[in-house]
Amino acid sequence: MSNSKLTLRINEMTTIELLYQTLNERRRPEDIAEMIFELTKDSLTNNEKLLLEKASKGSLSKNIYGYTSMLQTFAEAKGATKQIEKALEIFQLNPDTKFDYNNQKDIEEFIALVSPIINKSIGKNDFKADRLNKSQRIENGIDLSKRNYNKKWRLLKRIENKLLKFITESKKVEFQKIAKHGLVHTLDFTNFSSDINTASFIAYYNARCNLRSVFTNESQIRSFDEISEMLLNKCNRKDIQLPNPTNWWAIAHIYTSQEVLSHLTDQEKGLLLGKWTTILQEIAAFLDQIWNENDINRETMVVKRGNDSTTWNNTAGAWNKARDNWMNLIYSLGLDYILEEICFGKTLRLMAADVVAWHFSTNGKLDPNTEVWNKLPLPWEIFQNKVNCNKDLVIKYCVQAGLDPEKSGWIAARTHGVAEFTPTPELVHGVTISNPFLATVLKRHRFFSGKK
């Protein structure tokens, strides 16, 4: 291989590695388009170049401001680093094993390692009932003063509580990612990088999926735009080398249209169906927990003071995304007869009261999907085998609400059109602000947050 070709290959791999990193980020589509253009410009037609340039000209590197006020990463759950480092100091420990204190398993292993030192039972955290008294400490060979023992006991209790909080926060982050882009953040680099066209479509469409919602009383902008369509068409071109190098398995982690799934084997589709069924079950359990912790008005789904609308809406979004993928796979496998026995309904998000008032002021009405949601069993009740919900029941309630059960997405994943590319707006709590500096100042002072 000549030096020029070797250099080109190294540059390609570097760009693909950077694109891969964006799967766990919230980078602007314009910046991803710029990276894709540089990676693929020699193989693009004139029309394809024009489309990519339509987006890439708005990249931060070409922007007069050169930055964005919006975070380009997802939130991260904070582990028990602070608490465990304190425990290492107080217990005077220097463990041979290197622990990752932002990892659930490692935190559990640390608790299991340290708790026996003071004979503390894991999960037993009642200060009055679960501590050892003086005679019990002597009996167990624990030569510590009451003050020293209590200090260590309380610290281990805090680490256990931190672990529980970390598990919950990790679920929130995971479900937020699923709501936005499906399973793509779990895709390995080998599959992602196996084909440039595959990597380009996944990275760009992922950026589109991760866009923030806009404060509006109309529909949100569709993720699948004209550039997504062009990049997907490049994956499906008939004039490229045979066999087609496109990695459809990788694409199915973010986009499960019937066309994409038609390229997978039944075994691959079965693996994805199993994954999505497990995810639906996990999301249903978390929805149940949130529902019981919040006094949600099911009849209107208008948020009330005290409702954790962010967690509910992110988790509801994850449920709907998982459900769409599950249904696409059911139909692709020819298993739609299953829906005659079990057909999960959609989960509605909570709406801000001012958005609802705005909608009504423009002669809008309560979303008819709310009527269907009110009548169908709740998702977790189905998994708990408390009630049955099948396709006939869903169709019945959709008809009563004046909805087409298929087109409205109740008995099949909703089909979508192709949106025109639109530049990414600077948003402060969903409100468009044209200047990123001003947006940063407004965020700092909590404008448009709904909080004083």
The 3-class secondary structure across 226-295, one letter per residue, is HHHHHHHHHHCCCCCCCCCCCCHHHHCCCCCCHHHHCCCCHHHHHHHHHHHHHHHHHHHHHHHHHHHHCC
Q: What is the dihedral of CA 7, 10, 16, 21, to 10 degrees?
A: -130
Res 438: pLDDT: 47
- Close Cβ partners of 59 (under 8 Å, ≥ 6 residues apart): 28, 30, 31, 33, 34
Q: How far apart are CA 25 and CA 138, in angstroms?
A: 53
Instruction: Provide the whole-model pTM.
Output: 0.86
The residue behind tokens 């003050």 is: 147
Is residue 40 within 8 Å of residue 53, measured between CB atoms? no
Q: Are 155 and 86 in contact (CB under 8 A)?
A: yes
CB atoms within 10 A of CB 365: 8
Bridge partners of 302, per DSSP, are 351
Instruction: Give, for all 452 residues of the chain, the pLDDT tens digit.
Output: 444 544 445 466 688 999 999 999 999 999 999 999 999 998 899 999 999 999 999 888 777 555 565 567 788 999 999 999 999 999 999 877 788 899 999 999 999 999 999 999 999 999 999 999 999 999 999 999 999 999 999 999 999 999 999 999 999 999 999 999 999 999 999 999 999 999 999 999 999 999 877 654 456 678 999 999 999 999 987 665 567 799 999 999 999 999 999 999 999 999 999 999 999 999 999 999 999 999 999 999 999 999 999 999 999 999 999 999 999 999 999 999 999 999 999 999 998 876 665 555 555 678 899 999 999 999 999 999 999 999 999 999 999 999 999 999 999 987 888 999 988 776 444 444 444 554 454 445 454 444 44
Distance CA 347, CA 379 (A): 8
Q: Are 380 and 288 in contact (CB under 8 A)?
A: yes
Phi, psi of 414 (to 5 degrees): -65, 135
Determine the residue type at 421: F
- CA–CA distance from 313 to each of 276, 277, 348, 381 (Å)? 19, 20, 8, 19
Report CA 79 to chain centroid distance, whole Å: 19
Task: Specify the pLDDT at position 427.
Answer: 45
> What distance lies between CA 165 and its chain's CA centroid?
18
Question: What are the phi and psi torsion angles at 436 (to 5°)?
Answer: -65, -30
- Structure letter (DSSP) for residue 431: E
Place of tokens 């269907």: 372
Asked if residues 432 and 425 have their Cβ atoms less than 8 Å apart, the reply is yes
Please tell me the predicted confidence (pLDDT) of residue 62. Answer: 77
Q: How far apart are CA 109 and CA 122, in angstroms?
A: 11
Q: Which of 159, 170, 237 is nearest to 198 (CA)?
A: 237
> Would you say 139 and 191 are in contact if contact means Cβ atoms under 8 Å apart?
no
Instruction: Count Cα atoms within 13 angstroms, Cβ side, for 338.
Output: 16
Residue 56 has a CB neighbour count (10 Å cut-off) of: 22
Distance, C-alpha 328 to centroid of its chain: 19
What pLDDT does 383 receive?
A: 94
218 DSSP 8-state letter: S
Residues linked to residue 419 through DSSP beta bridges, in sequence order:
225
d(C-alpha 121, C-alpha 102), whole Å: 23
- Bridge partners (DSSP) listed for residue 73: 25
The one-character DSSP state at 95 is: -
CA atoms within 13 A of residue 10's CA, in its CB half-sphere: 7
Based on its alpha-carbon atoms, the radius of gyration of the chain, rounded to whole angstroms, reads: 26
- Determine the straight-line distance between the first and last CA of the chain, rounded to whole angstroms: 64
The pLDDT value given to residue 440: 54
